[in-house]
Structure 1
Amino acid sequence: MKRQGGTIYNYFKRNRSGLEQISSPGSPHPGTSQESPAESSLSSSPGVRVDRDDDKSQTGTITEECQAQHSPPSSVPSEEGSEASEQDDDPDPEQPEPEDVSSTAFAPSKGPSDISTSREEVPVQPHLSKYPKTLHGTSKRAFNSKWYTNNSWLEYSVSKNSCYCFACRHFSLPNAPDSAFTSDVGFSNWKKALSKEAGFKLHSRSELHINAMYAWSEFKKRKEVDQTLLNALNEKHKKKVQENRQYIKTIAEVLLLTATQNIPQRGHEESQESKNKGNFLTILDTIAKHDSFIQQRLEASGNAKYTSHNIQNEMLQTLADMVQKQIIAEVKESEVFSVMADETKDLKKKEQMSLVVRYYYNGAIHESFLCFQPAETLNAEGLSQMIVRCLERHGLDYRNNLVGQGYDGASVMSGKHSGVAAKIQSKARFAFYVHCNAHCLNLVLVDATKSVPEVVDFFALLQQLYNFISGSYVHLRWLDVQQKLYPSQQPRELQSLSDTRWACRYAACRNLRDRLPAVLKLLQDLSLEKHGERSVLARGLLSQIDLQFLGLLVTFCEVLGDAKCLSDMLQSSTLNLARAVDLVQSLKSTFHNYRNWCTSRQEKATKNKLKIPGLTDDELSRAEKLE
């Protein structure tokens, strides 16, 4: 019968990593152990003893080796089967594919705790300045760290003062017999360590050690290959992730550009054949002309282009969430804050409420838009609940940190008992309500002008002039007249009047005042044409531009100019309440100075019985009413 070690080695050479097919995990086969070559070399050494049972072990020396035959396990091929397998080098076609060495069931390792405990480790080879000596015969001998050089498998236990074989401890089969280098006590016969027929050299020539070293070598090769393959896969994965991030970043930057520039993303026709795919895809195509990677992704087949409207909306929402998180973080850091809210209609005529937070952060006052919310109900209860839910959703402590509210003057918002301001202040006691000063200024101008009929007629005529000159034919004539009268200046357009922001009517009055000669020239030319309705309208408008109209035009250029300056300053995010009060008082003083100047001029004219040239008594009386 062939020796067991040679049979395993030959079978393993043919199957590379199929040790598990001839061995199974578990306890060794019962019976007496077979004598190993390493142990037989120690049997003649005097004073050396080995015991298998822990309770019968002596002082750690080895005196004799167990001489017994080890019956082979059932999984090991028989003698005839072994010879047949050696004659036939080709494996059975129906035999399953052998597994790698990493999945082979090896014998559990033995030994003290200060040496290796698993196959994944390396041999423990401590280098001590002085190793303990033991008595061998008449002389004392000790372990030498130079032995590591020619015996890479060697590892030393400081606690046991013994050495062990790393390969045999971790890569021997479960039914392999123990030797001095795999036992619990280890090998410590330093006198025989370098002997040719004993110690390290004899152990290195044993077939069990050769098998274990071969398995250890294959295990390291497999581990290196797996690590190399894993590194290659990781590098490829990292490159793919980096490319995907770069592509998504490009799309996000294009969306951010279109959002900040307030231009639409999508087009009516976004197919490949379309000549106008919309702003988003057109900008991406322009980038792709200078970036081959972007072009490759856009032209690739599949649905991973991330250019659909759903992806656009998702990315825009993600960007909006990032901005909101930054704003909320700043508000929480500043602690106290105030809110400003107003409702308006969108293009679909749906009511929406916009919410803005005002806070002090990093040495400056910030006003940041927080969100749009659809206004399902427009009563005080519904609007106040919308504001409260928005603050709670973002984790803002409005009960203790909300110190201000700013709305328009509508009763539903500013009601003293049941308005939005009152309902929120009942929950947040420090939320002081302030009526929007810019809105107050607009209401003052509206009420003041509506009380004077001449002023109402003046602005109505101003709007009629804008409507008439905006016509296609008249507008071309208007540009021609300006080029003739003002060749060195850019043409100006008359402005339409705003019903909600009266301070902005200053631009309409200013442009008409600066281009009044061109307006009169245009109306005179059109009134002389033989074009029925257009000529009649031109004569009618020309006849209404009298001295009273000119006086009101000059007056409102001054008044609205000062009011617009105040309106712009009141809307500044850095303006505080004290500064706003000072600006309002300054405008009131300016208007009082205008009135006093007109009154003094009128009194002086009356005292000296002077009459302003070109003004009739009726016009003077109307001027007195304006004052």
Structure 2
Amino acid sequence: MASKPMSGSQKRKRKAFQEEENKKQRNSLASFLKKETMKQESEQQAVAQTSDSISESITLDVHLADNSLEPSTTSLSSSNTEDLVEKNEAGPNSSSYMYGDISASEIHGTGPTGTWKRSFKESYFYRVMANGETVKREWLIYSGTTGSVYCYICKLFAKTKTAISLHGIKAGAVCPMRQGRIDEKLASQMNAERQYWRDILKRIVATVRFLATNGLAFRGHSSDCGNYYNCLEYLSEFDPFLANHLKQYGHAGKGNASYLSPSIAEEFIQLMGKQVKSYILQEVKESKYFALIVDSTPDFSHEDQLALILRIVKVDGQTIERFIGFISLDDHSSKNLEEIVLEALKEMEIDIKYCRGQSYDNASNMSGCYNGLQARIKQHAEEALYTPCAGHSLNLVLNETVDCCRDSASYFDLLQKLYNFLSSSTKRWKMLQDTFAKNKKRLTVKRLSDTRWSARADAVAAVKNGYKEIIAVLRNIGSDTETKALTRVEANAIASQLDNWETALHTVSWNIFMTTELSMTIRVTWSSLSNGLQLCVTGYRLSLQLFTK
């Protein structure tokens, strides 16, 4: 059943009652605030009368321990403060009104050089900060009655009374509470936290240095499945401290400090790289003169990079080569190479005029006598003697020598065809590997290289050691009816060439030539005339042995 609506008289009575209650509450709150305000003003006035400063020169920079500053029931009564501040009839701006009679602090004594006296000064009650700012020491006060300095906080609130709160400290004394701090526990917690992360960083830096030194990849498809994280997990098996950290922060995610992210590892790599580069540049600047070595090569991502190397003679006479870094290269023109090299040396604060040598490959943009890089560098350093790369020049000479002989050129062309035919099909390659394994031979055919003479030696040695197995595989492919006709024809053609007596002779001859002292001598730089003569004698002796066999 619905309640009966209130009449107008009832509504007016209820409204009047609510207004009366609100008025009482407002009056009560105003009375409370007035009392609290008067109490605070009284306390502030009493504290203001008791606050003063003391000199830093007498080592009274006191840090109060937090365990001695717990509020007590002591109040700011006149009995506690009357001996702290001396009443003075002088005006409020008078120094005697602020500090009392400073002359009462004088103490006298006799020393080896005569009598002496000490006393407080007005300047002692201020502290000059490191930034030059002057700050008043509000927490210390001076009593002209006793001639001592007090800490009013200790005097009024400390449960455990100390010398500075009971008797004060006179001139020349040291505060007994100097060893404490009001934020001692907070500072201890901060120091422990700081030490924790420093210990973590030591382990992370050691891991990054190990991977970088050995040229190992840091991570795989994700940040927690690569060598970097796996190394940390391996170390954690013997390091409980690191194991606890990985358990707590191992997969914390973004926004959480763990120092385990890839960005931290990359930052450490950059810092280490800068440190190593700085050391290398210091060596270069101490040596003053240097030689420049430049070459370009594409990386795995098909981006061409220019390698910059400096060759120097150290102060102790040791000749060393230092790799400076890779520089991205878009244009292979000699002008662009010149700009890149000069800009790189300028960033390292190395003067090009101290360049005394330069060595590049035999490409026209590098070795050109008019517009090549070596000619452009000579315009900035006239004494920069150009020397072609010995290894590149030797490879070119040997390759061109082989190509001059028709039979030798045909033989190496056959080796390249053999590699292309077997490697172009996984089925053929497996047949070859299975045949080698059946005969307990760990071999594989090699491809040739236009710039590396050693690659030809490896290809010849592989064919010579697996000659019979290679022919057998080719014959099996040529007789397989399930194989395409064109493939069978090509296999039989290569097998027929290998069955040729001249091919077998070339294989044995080139293998002897490339695996003897003569080949090893050719691969090194001719450092003197005696080495060159010895090379000729070795070649003549080898030729006689070959024809005799």
- TM-score for both structures, normalised by structure 1: 0.59
1:353 Cα deviation (Å)? 0.8
Of the three residues 150, 164, 167, the one matched with 1:214 is: 167
Q: Distance in 2 between matches of 1:220 and 1:18?
A: 27
* 2:445 paired residue number: 494
Q: Distance in 2 between matches of 1:327 and 1:412?
A: 28
Report the 3-state secondary structure (helix = DSSP H, G, I; strand = E; otherwise coil) of the residue aligned with 1:226. coil
For the 8 Å contact 1:405–1:433, the answer to whether it is kept is yes
CA 1:285 to 1:163, structure 2 compared with 1: closer, same or farther past 3 Å?
Answer: closer
Q: Note the residue ranges of structure 2 that are not aligned, 5 or more in a row.
A: 1-41, 54-74, 82-96, 126-138, 150-162
Of the three residues 49, 72, 79, the one matched with 1:22 is: 49
Q: Distance in 2 between matches of 1:452 and 1:84?
A: 114
Pairing of 1:346-357 with structure 2 (within 5 A):
346-357=299-310
Report the 3-state secondary structure (helix = DSSP H, G, I; strand = E; otherwise coil) of the residue aligned with 1:506. helix
Pairing of 1:266-281 with structure 2 (within 5 A):
266-270=219-223, 277-281=225-229
For the 8 Å contact 1:107–1:173, the answer to whether it is kept is no
Q: Distance in 1 between matches of 2:433 and 2:409?
A: 29
Report the 3-state secondary structure (helix = DSSP H, G, I; strand = E; otherwise coil) of the residue aligned with 1:435. coil
Report the 3-state secondary structure (helix = DSSP H, G, I; strand = E; otherwise coil) of the residue aligned with 1:493. coil
1:565 Cα deviation (Å)? 2.1
1:434 Cα deviation (Å)? 0.5
For the 8 Å contact 1:438–1:567, the answer to whether it is kept is no
CA 1:596 to 1:219, structure 2 compared with 1: closer, same or farther past 3 Å?
Answer: closer
Q: Distance in 2 between matches of 1:239 and 1:433?
A: 60
Of the three residues 449, 458, 462, the one matched with 2:402 is: 449
* 2:155 paired residue number: none
CA 1:253 to 1:176, structure 2 compared with 1: closer, same or farther past 3 Å?
Answer: closer
CA 1:172 to 1:558, structure 2 compared with 1: closer, same or farther past 3 Å?
Answer: closer
Residue 226, structure 1, aligned to residue 181, structure 2: yes
Q: Distance in 2 between matches of 1:480 and 1:212?
A: 95
* 1:321 paired residue number: 274
Of the three residues 217, 227, 234, the one matched with 1:286 is: 234
CA 1:328 to 1:216, structure 2 compared with 1: closer, same or farther past 3 Å?
Answer: same
Letter matched to residue 465 of structure 2:
D
Q: Distance in 2 between matches of 1:450 and 1:346?
A: 30
Post-superposition CA distance 1:581-609 (Å, at most 9, x none): 654554455445566778x87xxxxxxxx
Post-superposition CA distance 1:473-515 (Å, at most 9, x none): 3344334433444x4xx51112122232133210110121122
* 2:244 paired residue number: 296
Of the three residues 468, 472, 478, the one matched with 1:517 is: 468
* 2:152 paired residue number: none
Letter matched to residue 359 of structure 1:
I
Residue 406, structure 1, aligned to residue 359, structure 2: yes
Letter matched to residue 48 of structure 2:
Q
Residues paired across the two proteins, number: 431
Q: Distance in 1 between matches of 2:164 and 2:278?
A: 64
Residue 439, structure 1, aligned to residue 392, structure 2: yes
Q: CA RMSD in A?
A: 4.3
Residue 257, structure 1, aligned to residue 284, structure 2: no
Letter matched to residue 204 of structure 2:
I
* 1:75 paired residue number: none
CA 1:396 to 1:480, structure 2 compared with 1: closer, same or farther past 3 Å?
Answer: same
Q: Distance in 2 between matches of 1:292 and 1:125?
A: 62
Report the 3-state secondary structure (helix = DSSP H, G, I; strand = E; otherwise coil) of the residue aligned with 2:335. helix
Report the 3-state secondary structure (helix = DSSP H, G, I; strand = E; otherwise coil) of the residue aligned with 2:383. coil
Report the 3-state secondary structure (helix = DSSP H, G, I; strand = E; otherwise coil) of the residue aligned with 2:256. coil
Letter matched to residue 507 of structure 1:
D
Of the three residues 518, 542, 550, the one matched with 2:495 is: 542
Pairing of 1:26-425 with structure 2 (within 5 A):
85=77, 106-107=99-100, 109=102, 128=112, 158-160=114-116, 176=144, 214-216=167-169, 220=175, 222-226=177-181, 230=184, 236-270=189-223, 277-298=225-246, 299-300=248-249, 301=252, 302-361=255-314, 362-400=316-354, 402-425=355-378
For the 8 Å contact 2:223–2:262, the answer to whether it is kept is no
Letter matched to residue 328 of structure 2:
P
Letter matched to residue 520 of structure 2:
C
Post-superposition CA distance 1:32-78 (Å, at most 9, x none): xxxxxxxxxxxxxxxxxxxxxxxxxxxxxxxxxxxxxxxxxxxxxxx
* 1:54 paired residue number: none
Q: Distance in 2 between matches of 1:234 and 1:173?
A: 27
Post-superposition CA distance 1:268-306 (Å, at most 9, x none): 2346xxxxx222222222223332332333333452222
1:420 Cα deviation (Å)? 1.3
CA 1:107 to 1:363, structure 2 compared with 1: closer, same or farther past 3 Å?
Answer: farther
- TM-score for both structures, normalised by structure 2: 0.66
1:378 Cα deviation (Å)? 2.1
Q: Note the residue ranges of structure 1 that are not aligned, 5 or more in a row.
A: 1-13, 27-82, 90-103, 116-122, 132-157, 183-209, 272-276, 571-576, 602-611, 613-627
Report the 3-state secondary structure (helix = DSSP H, G, I; strand = E; otherwise coil) of the residue aligned with 1:416. coil
Residue 556, structure 1, aligned to residue 505, structure 2: no
CA 1:484 to 1:282, structure 2 compared with 1: closer, same or farther past 3 Å?
Answer: closer
For the 8 Å contact 1:25–1:107, the answer to whether it is kept is no
* 2:57 paired residue number: none
Q: Distance in 1 between matches of 2:143 and 2:462?
A: 106
